[in-house]
């Protein structure tokens, strides 16, 4: 079981990291209240806007109605995100109200240096420091996650290049960008986002090399406590580095939003 002090640091960090990511988007907002948090990006897709209950008082019919009204007024879709161990009955509560569950994501953490370090010959990693490199970064995310490229460019603006908390990385094979990842360091902890590899380059050590590099940079910045949200497919990769599951998060789409997993 995770140490309560470590868990508190992770909970604090994730709100700080979300604030950094949302507030750097033009028109973006991340608001934290006593019982809930809310992120608005201005993008229409439900993956880009979120309502996050923080306490049992934040998950009720009134709070859900308020969130729906907020996003409806701004003409964007959104999701309700639950942390499983904080809301063990939350999925049933939302199911009874017609919310559509998306696949749960294991939340994993690493306290200290990784148990394995990888540097695969032929794979190089560079931090994104220029506008052309940032464009290549957005293109990799677009190709992997199939989000509209214009949404990626808005979600990951040029101001990230000068942001002290956000670091983007590209992995290269034969001088071609084939992998990407984001490191957010805030409140003495770090989180990994957007870690991905193009289809034709998977199982070639790209993600391992990229993650090793990012964790090394986090340690240099004294952000050795690291967390990420995994998928079922990526769990074994992260566990090889020493990451352990401490909870799961799950997004739910409000009634009326059609979700297709393609």
Question: From first to last of its 262 residues, what are the pLDDT tens digits of the chain?
Answer: 899 999 999 999 999 999 999 999 999 999 999 999 999 999 999 999 999 999 999 999 999 999 999 999 999 999 999 999 999 999 999 999 999 999 999 999 999 888 888 889 999 999 999 999 999 999 999 999 999 999 999 999 999 999 999 999 999 999 999 999 999 999 999 999 999 999 999 999 999 999 999 999 999 998 989 999 999 889 999 999 999 999 999 999 999 876 554 4
Residue partners of 46: CB distance under 8 A and separation at least 6:
77, 78, 79, 251, 253, 257, 259
pLDDT of res. 1 = 83
Confidence at residue 154, expressed as pLDDT on a 0 to 100 scale: 97
Tell me, what's the pLDDT at 259?
A: 53
Query: What pLDDT is recorded for position 261?
Result: 47
* pLDDT attached to residue 260: 54
Q: How would you class 164 by CB atoms within 10 Å of its CB: exposed for 0-12, middle for 13-18, buried for 19 or more?
A: exposed
Global pTM?
A: 0.93
Q: Give all strands (DSSP E) within the chain, no chain letters.
A: 29-32, 36-40, 50-53, 79-83, 100-101, 105-111, 123-127, 166-173, 176-186, 189-197, 225-229, 244-253
Q: Is 122 helix (H, G, I), strand (E, B) or coil?
A: coil
Instruction: Say how many C-beta atoms besides its own lie within 10 A of residue 206's C-beta.
Output: 24
Domains contained in the chain, CATH given: 4-104 (no CATH), 111-247 (3.40.630.30)
pLDDT value of residue 224: 85
DSSP string of 201-220, one letter each residue:
GTTSSHHHHHHHHHHHHHHH
Query: For residue 143, how many C-alpha atoms fall within 13 Å in the half-sphere facing its CB?
Result: 16
Residues 39, 18: Cα–Cα separation, whole Å: 8
């Amino acid at each position: 079981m995770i140490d309560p002090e470590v868990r508190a640091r992770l909970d604090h960090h994730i709100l700080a990291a979300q604030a950094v990511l949302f507030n750097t988007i033009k028109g973006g907002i991340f608001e934290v209240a006593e019982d809930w948090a809310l992120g608005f990006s201005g993008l229409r897709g439900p993956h880009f806007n979120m309502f996050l209950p923080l306490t049992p008082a934040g998950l009720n019919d009134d709070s859900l109605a308020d969130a729906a009204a907020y996003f409806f007024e701004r003409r964007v879709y959104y999701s309700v995100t639950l942390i499983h161990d904080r809301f063990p009955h939350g999925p049933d509560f939302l199911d009874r109200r017609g919310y559509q569950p998306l696949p749960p994501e294991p939340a994993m953490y690493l306290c200290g240096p990784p148990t394995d370090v990888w540097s695969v010959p032929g794979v190089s990693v560079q931090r994104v420091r220029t506008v052309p490199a940032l464009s290549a970064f957005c293109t990799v995310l677009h190709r992997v996650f199939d989000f509209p490229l214009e949404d990626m460019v808005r979600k990951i603006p040029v101001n990230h290049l000068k942001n002290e908390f956000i670091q983007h990385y590209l992995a290269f094979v034969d001088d071609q960008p084939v992998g990407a990842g984001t490191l957010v360091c805030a409140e003495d902890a770090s989180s990994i986002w957007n870690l991905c590899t193009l289809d034709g380059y998977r199982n070639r050590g790209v993600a391992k090399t990229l993650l090793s590099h990012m964790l090394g940079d986090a340690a240099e910045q004294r952000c050795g406590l690291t967390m990420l949200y995994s998928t079922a497919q990526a769990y074994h990769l992260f566990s090889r580095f020493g990451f352990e599951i401490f909870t799961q998060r799950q997004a739910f789409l409000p009634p009326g939003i059609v979700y297709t997993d393609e």
